[in-house]
Every structure is written in C-alpha cells, then in structure tokens.
Amino acid sequence: MSGARGLGDGVTELKTTPELSAKARRFQTVLDEYAPGSRVLEFREPSRTAQQAADAIGCELDQIVKSLVFRTDDGRAVLVLTAGGNRVDERAVGAQLGASIHMADAEFVRSHAGYAIGGVPPFGHPESIDTLIDEQLFAFDEIWAAGGTPNAVFAVDPERLLDITGGRKTRVA
C-alpha cells in the first residue's frame, strides 16, 4: 500500500518537505515494519488541525484520524483514534473501559506515546496502549493518520490499522 495511494499524480502537487524531520523519519522506520511501501508525508505548511490536514491532502475531514491520548483515574493510557470531525464522548468511552478517562497532559502523552500532542501516530509507541478506533473511520477505504509530527501524515486502510494496533472498533463520539 502506498502512503499516497489515493492521491495519484496529485501527490507531487502537495506542498511537502523534500526530507522528513527526525521524528517523522523515526516513525517512517516503524511504518516500514508494519506497512511496507507506505510513506510519511510531511507538509511545509501547518497541518496541526484535522481540517488543515484534510485541506492539504484534499480528502474529507472524517478521513483524518485524530489520535487522542486519555488517562484513566488509575494512570493507564488509552488511545482513541477518531474521525476528524468527531469529538470524543469521554463518558461513553469511560463506560466502555469501566473507568473514568480524562484528556492527558503533554508530559503524560509524550511519556506513554513517545510523541508530542498533535503528532501521535496510531502505533509504534514505546509501550502497549489500549486503543479504541472510531467505527466511523471504516466508512473509508483510506484514512490519514499522524506520522510523528503535527505536520506529518500517512495513509492507511482502516482494517489494516485495526490489525496493526490490535485496537477495538467502537463508537467513540
């Protein structure tokens, strides 16, 4: 699967960097292991929000995967992968997990996911993280997730993402 599979010839029109940053290169190494042939694209212009990323790629907002790290009351990390236009229902997700969850702070995210907020990829973390995947993402053949920096993304099939993460497909919004 190519990281720019859905873009065809348009990939050369994207304003991407000629070389990846250190964090994006680090994730590319992980991506090579789990999805050979996929590639991280890093934009020159800001793509920190889901809408900015969708605009830069030329895809629907809900094809953008927001990787959100939450913290349970007992200190466990939970990664919720949701469609770009959705807002996570913390109560509903907490009920599924049998624990209250709260948005994690930057230090917690970095220590558990290995990346800064805004660039957390859906896999390749230093430790195993409980992962929930928004069922809405499965409406698409191709979705775009963070690739190690707030301006880096890669394309993946949602079913492949489910396999790689060992996550649970569920309603999160």
Hey, where are the domains in the chain?
Answer: 5-170
CATH architecture, domain defined by 5-170: Alpha-Beta Complex (3.90)
Render each residue's pLDDT in the chain as its tens digit; 173 residues: 333 334 433 443 556 778 999 999 999 999 999 999 999 999 987 788 999 999 999 999 999 999 999 999 999 999 999 999 999 999 999 999 999 999 999 999 999 999 999 999 999 999 999 999 999 999 999 999 999 999 999 999 999 999 999 999 999 99
Q: Name 36's Cβ contacts closer than 8 Å, sequence gap at least 6.
A: none
pTM: 0.90
Return the number of other C-beta atoms located less than 10 Å from residue 163's C-beta: 12
Q: Find where tokens 């939450």 sit.
A: 70
